[in-house]
C-alpha cells in the first residue's frame, strides 16, 4: 500500500479522477468550469463591486458537492480532536489548529490555494499579486455548536507570521437543509447606520468572498439553537498582498558567482549600491 492509499486517496492517471473513501471525483468536475470563463468572471467582478453594504460576493456550486460532502464527514472522521475551542465574551466557536486534514479537506485547500485559483480571485477583485496562506491562519475548518456566536467585527489586518496585508477571506459552507430558525446566518452591517443590511444563510455549497476593508463588518449575533447533533460548519481561507511598492520591498534579482575580476568588481559595486540607483546606472550604461 502506497502513501496515497494509506491516506484514503486513490489516483488513476489513466482516467483523471481521484477516489476518496470509495467515492469517485473526476478532476475536471472538482470546480465549476465557469471559473475559467472571462465573461463569467467579469460578471462576478461587477456583482462584487456593486454589492451592499460593502463589496462582497455570494455564489453557489463553485465546488463539487461530493467533495464538500466528504469534507463534512472529515470533521468527525479526522479533525474532531484538533478543533480548538475559541471561547471569549465576543466569540464562541471551534477552529482547526493545524494544517493536517483528511484527504477531502486537503484537496479543497489545495484547490483554493492553487496559483490559477488565486489568479482568478485577483481577476474578480482587481487586487493584483494576491498570495495564499499555506499556514491557514484564521482559516481551515470552522464549526459553531449550540450557543455559538461571533459578534460583529472586521477581520484582522496583517498575518502574524509574514506581516502581509489581509486582503480577503473565502468561506464555503457545508450545512445541508439549514433552518434559519437555528440562527447562524452571517450578518453584513452598515457602519454608518449601525444596522444589519444583509444576511447570508450558511447553506451547503454556498461560497462567500469577502474583501477585508475598513467597512466590512460582519458576524452573527444571535446564539445558535440547532437540534442535537447539528452544527454550523464551514471552510475558510485568507489571501494576502504586499502593498509596498516593488522599489521599497528590497527586491534583488538573481546573483551569479563572479569568475573574473571585472565580474567580481561589478558584483561588489552592485551589492553596495541601492537597487534604484543601480538600475539608473545600468540604464545609462546600456545606452
For every one of its 287 residues, what pLDDT tens digit does the chain have, with 9 covering 90 and above?
Answer: 444 444 455 555 556 889 999 999 999 999 999 999 999 999 999 999 999 999 999 999 999 999 999 999 999 998 665 799 999 989 999 999 888 899 999 999 999 999 999 999 999 999 999 999 999 999 999 999 999 999 999 999 999 999 999 999 999 999 999 999 999 999 999 988 889 999 999 999 999 999 999 999 999 999 999 999 999 999 999 999 997 655 555 556 665 565 666 666 777 777 777 777 767 777 776 66
147 burial class (0-12, 13-18, 19+ CB within 10 angstroms)?
exposed
Residues in the chain: 287
Angstrom distance (rounded) from CA 78 to CA 80? 6
From the list 137, 201, 143, the residue with the least C-alpha distance to 165 is 137
pLDDT score, position 15 = 66
pLDDT given for residue 256 in this prediction: 56
Cβ-in-10-Å burial (0-12, 13-18, 19+) of 235 comes to buried
Residue 286: enclosing H or E segment and its boundaries?
A: helix 275-286
Per CATH, which fold does 3-241 belong to?
Answer: Jelly Rolls (2.60.120)
Cβ–Cβ under 8 Å, residues 182 and 230: yes
Residues of the chain with CATH 2.60.120.620: 3-241
* 8 Å CB contact between 186 and 220: yes
pLDDT in the model for residue 280: 73
For position 98, what pLDDT does the model report?
83
Amino acid at each position: 500500500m502506497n502513501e496515497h492509499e494509506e491516506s484514503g486517496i486513490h489516483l488513476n492517471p489513466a482516467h483523471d479522477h481521484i477516489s476518496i473513501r470509495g467515492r469517485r471525483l473526476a478532476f475536471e468536475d472538482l470546480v465549476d468550469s465557469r471559473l475559467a470563463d472571462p465573461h463569467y468572471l467579469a460578471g462576478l467582478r461587477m456583482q462584487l463591486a456593486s454589492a451592499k453594504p460593502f463589496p462582497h460576493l455570494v455564489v453557489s456550486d463553485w465546488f463539487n458537492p461530493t467533495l464538500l460532502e466528504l469534507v463534512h464527514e472529515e470533521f468527525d472522521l479526522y479533525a474532531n480532536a484538533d478543533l480548538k475551542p475559541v471561547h471569549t465574551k465576543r466569540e464562541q466557536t471551534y477552529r482547526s489548529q493545524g494544517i493536517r486534514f483528511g484527504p477531502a479537506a486537503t484537496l479543497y485547500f489545495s484547490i483554493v490555494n492553487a496559483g490559477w485559483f488565486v489568479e482568478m480571485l485577483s481577476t474578480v477583485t482587481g487586487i493584483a499579486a494576491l498570495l495564499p496562506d499555506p499556514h491557514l491562519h484564521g482559516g481551515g475548518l470552522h464549526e459553531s455548536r449550540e450557543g455559538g456566536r461571533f459578534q460583529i467585527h472586521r477581520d484582522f489586518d496583517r498575518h502574524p507570521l509574514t506581516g502581509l496585508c489581509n486582503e480577503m477571506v473565502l468561506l464555503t459552507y457545508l450545512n445541508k437543509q439549514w433552518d434559519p430558525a437555528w440562527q447562524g446566518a452571517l450578518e453584513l452591517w452598515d457602519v454608518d447606520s449601525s444596522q444589519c443590511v444583509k444576511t447570508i444563510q450558511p447553506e451547503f455549497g454556498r461560497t462567500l468572498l469577502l474583501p477585508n476593508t475598513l467597512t466590512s463588518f460582519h458576524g452573527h449575533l444571535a446564539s445558535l439553537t440547532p437540534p442535537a447533533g447539528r452544527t454550523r460548519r464551514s471552510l475558510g481561507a485568507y489571501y494576502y498582498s504586499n502593498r509596498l511598492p516593488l522599489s521599497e520591498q528590497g527586491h534583488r534579482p538573481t546573483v551569479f558567482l563572479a569568475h573574473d575580476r571585472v565580474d567580481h568588481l561589478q558584483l561588489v559595486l552592485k551589492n553596495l549600491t541601492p537597487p534604484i540607483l543601480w538600475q539608473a546606472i545600468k540604464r545609462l550604461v546600456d545606452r
